[in-house]
C-alpha cells in the first residue's frame, strides 16, 4: 500500500477560523476576515469549534490523496464516504489487467498451505482473463472474472469534516484491516500537514464514547496508546 498527500487547502486552519469569524462577528467583512488571526488565535478557534461541534466550517478545506496497492474490496468500502468526498479510480473497463497485482490478507498469509492455494487461484484467474481478452472478449466483460483482491489505484479528495468522520469510523479497531491501515496512514499525513486541525482526530473511543454497542472490542484504547501503535514511525 502506498499513500501520498498530493495537495491540500493552503493555510487550512486559518481558512476555517476566518469562516467561523464571519459567522460570529458583527464587524468582520471579507477584506478583514484574516486580520489579526495569529497562529495562537487560529488554534484556539479550531479547538473551540471542535468542542462546540460546529463542523460545517471544516468543509472549506480539502485534502487530496494518491492511493495505490489497495484492493477492489477496499474500494467498495471507501466509496461509502461519498458525501464530502470525490473519487477517481483506475478503470478496469479501459485498462488492461494482463498482469494484475493482488492483496493477500494477513489472516490467509499466515496459513502457508492455503496461501499457496490462494496464489495459485490468482494465477488461474490471470490466465483466464488473458485468454478471454485474446479471444476478443471486451475488457469490460473479461473483468467479470477478476477478484476483490485485485489491486487498484485511486485519487481521493475529502474535506476536513468528512476526514474527521472517516477517521472516526475507519481508525476503529473493528474496521476492516486494510481500510483501517489506509485510514491511519491518511491521518498521519493530515496531522503532519495540519497539526492543529487533526490533533484529536481518530476513532470515536478517543473521546470516551464507543458507538459499536454490543459489537465493541471492549478495550476503548486511549489516544496515547493508539498513537504509540500507529505513529511509531
Q: Tell me which residues are annotated as active site.
A: 170
Angle at the Cα of 215 (from 212 to 220), degrees rounded to 5? 60
Going by DSSP bridges, is the β-strand pair 62-71/2-8 parallel, antiparallel, or unpaired?
antiparallel
d(CA 111, CA 106): 9
Helical spans, DSSP H, in 135-222 = 139-142, 160-170, 177-193
Residues in Cβ contact with 103 at an 8 Å cutoff, skipping those fewer than 6 apart: 69, 70, 71, 73, 74, 149, 151, 178
Residue with cell 477492489: 72
Amino acid at each position: 500500500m502506498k499513500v501520498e498527500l498530493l495537495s491540500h487547502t493552503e493555510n487550512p486552519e486559518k481558512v476555517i477560523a476566518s469562516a467561523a469569524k464571519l459567522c460570529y462577528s458583527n464587524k468582520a467583512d471579507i477584506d478583514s476576515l484574516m486580520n489579526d488571526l495569529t497562529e495562537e488565535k487560529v488554534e484556539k478557534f479550531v479547538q473551540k469549534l471542535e468542542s462546540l461541534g460546529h463542523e460545517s466550517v471544516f468543509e472549506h478545506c480539502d485534502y487530496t490523496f494518491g492511493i495505490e496497492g489497495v484492493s477492489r474490496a477496499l474500494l467498495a468500502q471507501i466509496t461509502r464516504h461519498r458525501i464530502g468526498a470525490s473519487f477517481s479510480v483506475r478503470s478496469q473497463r479501459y485498462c488492461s489487467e494482463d498482469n494484475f497485482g493482488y492483496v493477500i490478507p494477513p489472516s490467509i498469509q499466515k496459513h502457508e498451505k492455503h496461501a499457496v492455494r490462494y496464489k495459485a487461484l490468482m494465477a488461474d484467474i490471470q490466465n483466464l482473463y488473458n485468454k478471454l481478452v485474446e479471444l476478443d472478449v471486451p475488457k469490460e466483460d473479461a473483468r467479470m472474472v477478476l477478484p476483490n483482491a485485485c489491486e487498484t489505484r485511486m485519487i481521493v479528495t475529502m474535506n476536513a469534516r468528512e476526514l474527521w468522520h472517516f477517521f472516526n469510523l475507519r481508525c476503529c479497531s473493528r474496521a476492516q484491516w486494510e481500510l483501517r491501515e489506509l485510514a491511519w496512514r491518511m491521518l498521519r499525513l493530515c496531522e503532519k500537514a495540519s497539526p492543529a486541525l487533526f490533533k484529536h482526530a481518530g476513532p470515536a473511543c478517543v473521546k470516551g464514547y464507543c458507538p459499536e454497542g454490543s459489537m465493541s472490542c471492549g478495550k476503548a484504547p486511549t489516544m496515547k496508546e493508539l498513537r504509540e501503535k500507529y505513529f511509531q514511525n
